[in-house]
Structure 1
Amino acid sequence: MLYYLYEMNHAALAPWRAMADAGITFWRSPVNPLSSTQLGRSWAASLELFERTTRRYGKPEFGIADTIVGDDLVAVEEVEVQAKPFCRLVNFRKMWARKTKQHKMLIVAPMSGHYATLLRGTVEAMLPHYDTYITDWVDARTVPVLEGSFDLDDYVDYVTEFLRHLGPNTSVMAVCQPSVPVLAAVSLMNAAKDPCAPSTMILMGGPIDTRRNPTAVNRLAQEKGAEWFRNNVIMKVPAPHAGMMRDVYPGFLQLGGFMTMNLDRHIDAHRELFWHLIEGDGDSAEKHREFYDEYMSVMDLTAEFYLQTVEKVFVNHDLPKGTLTHRNLRVDPSKVTATALMTIEGERDDISGVGQTEAAHDLCSSLPKEKKLHHLQPGVGHYGVFNGSRFRKEIVPRIVEFVNKNADDRTAQKPATNGRAKTA
C-alpha cells in the first residue's frame, strides 16, 4: 500500500512541479527586470528547492567521454558487452590511435539502492591503467515478473559468468555490498581450478564480517532480524511499471534510510543551496546539484536478494562462520590460492566498520602473505573509500601497484607510485 501512496503522491504533485518549473523560468529570465533583485532570486531559489525535493530522479549517465593515459588524451566509448535481465556488463572502451592491450579490471558495483553511476569516479580513476568494465545493475521495478527472480545465488552466478566472459588474468574490484558475493564467486572458482579465476581481488569497504566493530546499520539488522524486514519493507511494484507485481525493497525506502542517518547534514546542505542561489554563487549551487542528482537517484531491489543479504550477511554471518552456501555447495575462502587479495577500509566508515573487510584475510588462510595487502585510509568515510581526492591520490596508486605486481601477463602498466600500506 505504501508504494501505491508514494506513486499517488508523486502524480498529485506533478502539476505543482510543472508550475514551479514555469516560475523558475519566469524569475530567472534575463528579460524579467526583477530577475537580478533579491526578490526575484528568492522566489527562484524557493521554487527550485520545491521542485528538487519533490521530483523523482532518473538514472544518471556515466558521461565519461575521454581519459588521459600517459601523455595522451584517449576518447572513451561506453559499450554494452553483455545484457542480462538484471544487469548489463559495460565496457569503457578506449578508442586508441594505435592498438594497445591493457589488463582487464571488472568493477562490481553495489546493488544497494544507488545506480552503478555512483562509481563514476572509481571508473575514471581506473581507466588510465586498465581495460575497465562495470556491472550496471537494472532497477527491479523495470524487470517484468516473467523474467523470474534474482537472489544472492544469482548474483554470484552473474559475477562468475562475467569473469569467465572476460577470460583469464582479469582483476575484480568489489565496492561495499558485493564484497561478500564476489569473495564467494572467487572462492568457488579457485576451488574448481577455474582458469578464469581472477589474478587479483580488491574488496573495498565491504561487510565480510559485520561482527567486527558493528555500525548502526549492522546493529539494526541484527536487532530486527530478516522476518521484520520481510513484513515491513517488502512491497509489490505498482502499475504502470514494467515490473508490476514483483516483490521489491523500494529505492525510496532505502533513500529515506540514507537521509535519516545524517538528516541534519542534508538539511544544512539544502539550506546552503538556498542561500547560494540568492547570493548568485553558481559554482557552489552546481556542486550541490551534481551531488544530489546522483545521491537521490535510487533503484528497487528484488525482495529475495535483499532478504537473503540481510539474513546471510548481517544476521547469521554465514561467510565468516563457514556456513555460506551457493546452490547447496559450501563456500570455502580457504580454497583461494590463485587470486591475490587486497582489502581497503576507511577510518571513518559508518557503514562498514573498520575490520569488517580486513576479515577476508583470515578467511583466505591459504594465501601467502606476499599475495595479501590491507590498507586503512585515514580521514575518509564510506564514500571516500572509492571516490574523492584522497581515493585518487592515496588509494589508487596502491591498487595499481598491487594489481600490476600480481598480474601474470605483461600487459599491465607500471605502478603509478610506490605506496606503503599495511601488509595483512
Structure 2
Amino acid sequence: MNRLSYQIYEMSHAALAPSRALSDFTRLFFKNPMNPLAHTPFGRNVAASAELFERITRRYGKPSFGLGSTLFDGERTEVVEQVVWEQPFCRLIHFERQAHHRHYPQPKLLIVAPMSGHYATLLRGTVEAFLPTHEVYITDWSDARMVPLASGEFTLDSYIDYIINMVHSLGRGVHTLGVCQPSVPLLAAVARMSAEDDPFVPASMTLMGGPIDTRESPTGVNQLAQQRGPRWFRDNCIHMVPFPYPGVGRFVYPGFLQLAGFMAMNLDRHVNAHRDMFNHLVQGDGDSAEKHREFYDEYMAVMDLTAEFYLQTVDTVFVHHSLPKGEMMHRDKPVDLTAIRKTALMTVEGEKDDISGVGQTYAAQKLCVNIPDHMKVHYLQKNVGHYGVFNGSRFRAEIAPRICDFIANIEQAAKKQSAGKRTNLKVVASKS
C-alpha cells in the first residue's frame, strides 16, 4: 500500500492554487461587461480558457440535493430533508413533504445509493421521480476521509448491517431500491433477514444495473478486476488519508482514483464535452454551458471509500462471485438467497450498460428460486447505458412508472391479504 500518493496529490492540488486564483481573476476580468475586450472574440476565448482551466483543476465539494418542492395530490408542496437515522458512515435522509392534507398513506421507499465514489446526490433524479408517489428515504454515505479512525472499520458486512438496521428503523412493509453497487448488499441483507424470519423483511426490492453475477456479459470493469485480483488493488489503489482530514491515518480507496478510472473509460467523450463547453462559452451559448457545469459539478464530486469495504467488495463480487455461487457469508453466516420467500423482486437493466452488463442483474431472478413467479418482474430498457438506468428522460418516462406500478401491485396484494385475514378472524370469533 502506498502511503505517500495521497499526500503527493494534495500537494499538487495546493501547488496549483495560485494558478487557479489567477485564472479565476482572468475570467472575471474578461467577462466584465465594462471591459471592452469582453465583447470581442479575443476576450471570449481568454475567458473561456480561464474557466476551463479553473474547473479542470479545482476540487468539487459535496453537492446538495436541492429538491425544494414536489407535486403532491396535484399541488406544489415544499420538501424538507430530515435525518432520521445516523451512524458514522451513513445518514438516512427522509424527504419530508410539508403537505397540510394527506388523504391516504403512501408506500415507504428506501433508496440505497451506491458507495462507489460519488455522493448520493448522483441519484437526485431518482429521488425526484418518486417523491410525488412515495415517502422517499435515501442512504447518504459518508466520505471515509472525514470519518475519524476512532469510529472503527466499515466493511461489506457493515454495509449489510446498516441496511438491516435502517429497514428496522422504517418499520414493516418498506420497499427498497438498490442502484448498481448496493444491489449485492441489499440482496444479501434481505436474504439474511428472511433466513432469520425477521418480521421487518422488506415488502419488495428493486435492483437496478447491479453486479449480481459479473460472469454474465462481463464488461471491461469486470474483466479488469478478474485479471488483476484483490492483491493488485490492495497494492496499487489503497492509500492513507493525510493530515488535516478528520480521517487522517485511515486507509482508503481515494475518490480521485475512482474518478480517473471512470473518465479513462470514456476519455474521448469527456474531452469532446469540454471542447464543446469552450465553444459554447465563446459563442455566448449560456444555456448549453450551464448544462455542462451542472453535470460535471456532480460528476467530479467524489468521496473516498474505506479500504476494507473496497477490497472485500472486489474479492466477493468481482473476483470470486461468491453471491451467485452460494458461498457469500455475512458475519460467519451464509447468505442463502433461497430463504427469500416474502419479498417481491424487480430487476432493471440497460441495453447499453458498460458497467453492469445485460444479464448481471437479471441473475437475481434465477437465484431467488423461492420467490413466487407472480412476485417477480424484469425489465430491460432499450438504448440506455448505465447512467440512464436510474436517471434521464427514459428513466422518468419508462423505468420509474414501471417501478411505481410494481410497488403499487405489491401494496394492493398486501391489502387484500390483510383484509382476508381480518375476515377469517371475524368468522372464527363468531363461532367461538
Range class of TM-score, shorter chain:
over 0.9
The match for 1:123 among 116, 121, 127 is: 127
The match for 1:192 among 171, 196, 220 is: 196
The match for 2:7 among 4, 17, 26 is: 4
Is contact 2:193-2:201 (8 Å) kept?
Answer: yes
Measure the CA separation in 2 of the matches of 1:398 and 1:265.
31
Shift of residue 70 of structure 1? 3.8
Measure the CA separation in 2 of the matches of 1:36 and 1:128.
45
The match for 2:156 among 138, 152, 174 is: 152
1:32 aligns with 2:39: no
Deviations 1:97-134 (A, max 9, x none): 21452110000000000000000000000101100000
Measure the CA separation in 1 of the matches of 2:350 and 2:209.
7
Larger helix proportion, structure 1 or 2? Answer: 2
Identity %: 60
1:238 aligns with 2:242: yes
2:226 aligns to what? 222
Shift of residue 69 of structure 1? 2.4
Deviations 1:374-406 (A, max 9, x none): 000000000000000000000111101111111
My pick for the range that moved more, 346-355 or 23-32, is 23-32
1:422 aligns to what? none
1:91 aligns with 2:94: yes
1:361 aligns to what? 365
1:308 aligns with 2:312: yes
Deviations 1:276-331 (A, max 9, x none): 00000000000000000000000000000000000000000000000000000000
Measure the CA separation in 1 of the matches of 2:371 and 2:102.
35
Alignment of 1:226-305 (within 5 A): 226-305=230-309
Is contact 1:3-1:235 (8 Å) kept?
Answer: yes
Measure the CA separation in 1 of the matches of 2:230 and 2:287.
44
- The residue identity in structure 2 corresponding to 1:131 is E
Shift of residue 16 of structure 1? 1.1
Measure the CA separation in 1 of the matches of 2:62 and 2:355.
23
- The residue identity in structure 2 corresponding to 1:198 is P
The match for 1:64 among 67, 73, 94 is: 67
- The residue identity in structure 1 corresponding to 2:56 is T
Normalising by structure 1, what TM-score? Answer: 0.96
Is contact 1:169-1:409 (8 Å) kept?
Answer: no
Shift of residue 25 of structure 1? 1.1
Measure the CA separation in 2 of the matches of 1:26 and 1:15.
16
Is contact 1:199-1:339 (8 Å) kept?
Answer: yes
The match for 2:185 among 176, 181, 187 is: 181
- The residue identity in structure 1 corresponding to 2:12 is N
Is contact 1:248-1:300 (8 Å) kept?
Answer: yes
Length, aligned pairs only: 411
1:417 aligns to what? none
Task: Give 5+ residue unaligned stretches, structure 2.
Answer: 417-432
2:333 aligns to what? 329
1:14 aligns with 2:27: no
The match for 2:212 among 204, 208, 217 is: 208
- The residue identity in structure 2 corresponding to 1:315 is V
User: Which SS does the other structure have where 1:225 is aligned?
Assistant: helix
2:421 aligns to what? none
Measure the CA separation in 1 of the matches of 2:38 and 2:309.
50
User: Which SS does the other structure have where 2:37 is aligned?
Assistant: coil
My pick for the range that moved more, 65-74 or 220-229, is 65-74
1:104 aligns to what? 108
